[in-house]
Structure 1
Amino acid sequence: MRIGLFLLAAAPFVAAIPAQAQDSAVASTQIVQGDYSQAESRLLAELRIHPERPELLLNLAAVYAKTGRAGEARGLYTRVLGEDEVLMDLSSQQAVSSHAIAQRGLRRLDTVQFSAR
C-alpha cells in the first residue's frame, strides 16, 4: 500500500501527512509554524477516527518530540514499527517506508537524549 504525502520540510523530524485528510493537512501547517498544541489536538481527533494511520502517528510523535515528551514520541515510533510497513510518498521524487521514518525518529530521540547528558 502507498500513501500520498506532503513533506514537512521545516520540521526537524520527518513527518508526513496524507494529501486527502484536511485536518491532517492543517496539522502539518501548524507543526511547521510551531503551533504544536493545535497540531496535537487535530492529530488526536484524526487518530480517534483512524487509529492505525502511520502518517498521523508519525506526525504526533514529531509533536511530542518537539515539546519535550520523548517517552510518548518513542512509544508512537515503536507503535509504527509494530505495524505493517507502508510506503509513503514524501515528495514527487521520494518515497520512504513508515518504518524508516520511525527508525529515524527514534535515532533523533536517542541523539537528543545523549547530547543532553
Structure 2
Amino acid sequence: MYSKLTIAALTLVTVAAAPAVAKDRVGYQAIAAGSLAKAEQTIDAERAIFPDRPELMLNLAAVYARTGREAQARALYGDVLDREPVALDMADGSVRTSHELARVGMMRLTTAMATR
C-alpha cells in the first residue's frame, strides 16, 4: 500500500509539496527559479531531518543531474528505488509513484549521457 504525499512535478522529475503558499522546504521553487545552489541548500537541510522522503531525494537528484553530477543523481534515484514506493499526486491531477519518477530520472540521465 502506498502512502500519499501531495506534490507537483517540474522538468527532471522535481517535485514540490503543496500548498504552494507553504514555505519551500523541498527546493521546488528554487529549482523552478534556476537557483540550484539554493535548492540544494534547502533540500540538504530538510534531508538532515527527513532523510527518507522521496520528494527530497528526487529533487536533489534533479539538482545533481542539472549540475553535472550524474553519478550522485543516479545513486539518489537508486535510493528511491530501494525503498517502498510512495504514491504522489502530481500537479496535473495524475498519480505516479516515487519509483516511476525515479525510473524517469534514470532514463533521462542515460539518454543525456548517450547523446554526449
TM-score of the superposed pair, with normalisation by structure 2: 0.90
Q: Residue in 2 aligned with 1:5?
A: 7
Task: Report % sequence identity.
Answer: 38
Distance 2:12 2:95 in 1: 16
Q: Is 1:22–2:47 an aligned residue pair?
A: no
Letter of the aligned partner of 1:17 in structure 2?
A: A
Return the alpha-carbon distance in structure 2 between the equivalents of residues 30 and 55 of structure 1: 14
Deviation at 1:92, TM superposition (A): 5.3
User: What's the RMSD between the two structures over aligned residues?
Assistant: 1.4
- C-alpha contact 1:23 1:46 (8 A) present in aligned 2: no
The unaligned stretches of length 5 or more in structure 1 are none
CA distance, structure 2, for counterparts of residue 73 and residue 105 of structure 1: 8
Q: Does the CA contact (< 8 Å) of 1:87 and 1:95 recur in 2? A: yes
Query: Alignment partner of 1:24: what SS?
Result: coil
The residue number in structure 1 matching 2:50 is: 50
Q: Which 5+ residue runs of structure 2 have no aligned equivalent?
A: none
State the Cα deviation string for residues 38-84 of structure 1 (Å, max 9, x = none): 00000000000000000000000000000000000000000000000
Q: Which has the higher helix share?
A: 1
Cα pair 1:61 1:73 within 8 Å, conserved: yes
Moved >4 Å (runs of 4+): none
